[in-house]
């Protein structure tokens, strides 16, 4: 699992270095591993980049039954992680 802070540190690094971004796009698993983030092999990673005219909406995976309330959804999302 990776904290939101760690995810944001990695994201900042990618956003500020075009060459690193290319490396990340080509091999996200290896890039993350080099930064101490291990993603289980059974999890597939796909990198998508938003643009001025394109936004991606990601429906999160949540184990178990769907949340019954917005508050429960917010709580469960706050405990979810961005990588494995």
84 located within any domain:
no
* Ramachandran angles phi, psi of 34, nearest 5°: -65, -20
What kind and span of H or E run contains 75? helix 70-79
Q: What is the DSSP letter of 36?
A: T
Read off the pLDDT of residues 24-80 as tens digits, 9 standing for 90 and up.
Answer: 999 999 999 999 999 999 999 999 999 999 999 999 899 999 999 999 999 988 877
Average pLDDT over residues 14-23: 98
Q: Structural domain of residue 9, as residue ranges? A: 4-47+54-79
Predicted confidence (pLDDT) at residue 8 exceeds the cutoff of 70: yes
Per the structure, how many domains does the chain have?
Answer: 1
Between CA 67 and CA 75 the distance in angstroms is 9
16 located within any domain:
yes
Buried-exposed string 12-21: b where 16+ CB fall within 10 A, e elsewhere: eebeeeeeeb
pLDDT at 4: 82
pLDDT at 25: 98
65 located within any domain:
yes
74 located within any domain:
yes
38 located within any domain:
yes
Predicted confidence (pLDDT) at residue 1 exceeds the cutoff of 80: no
DSSP assignment of 12-30: HHHHH-HHHHHHHHH-HHH
């Amino acid at each position: 699992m990776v904290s939101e802070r760690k995810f944001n540190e990695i994201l900042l690094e990618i956003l500020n270095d075009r060459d690193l971004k290319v490396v990340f796009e080509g091999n996200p698993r290896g890039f993350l591993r080099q930064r101490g983030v291990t993603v289980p092999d059974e999890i597939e990673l796909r990198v998508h980049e938003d643009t001025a005219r394109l936004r991606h909406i990601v429906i999160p995976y949540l184990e178990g039954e769907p949340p019954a309330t917005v508050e429960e959804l917010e709580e469960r999302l706050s405990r979810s992680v961005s990588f494995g």
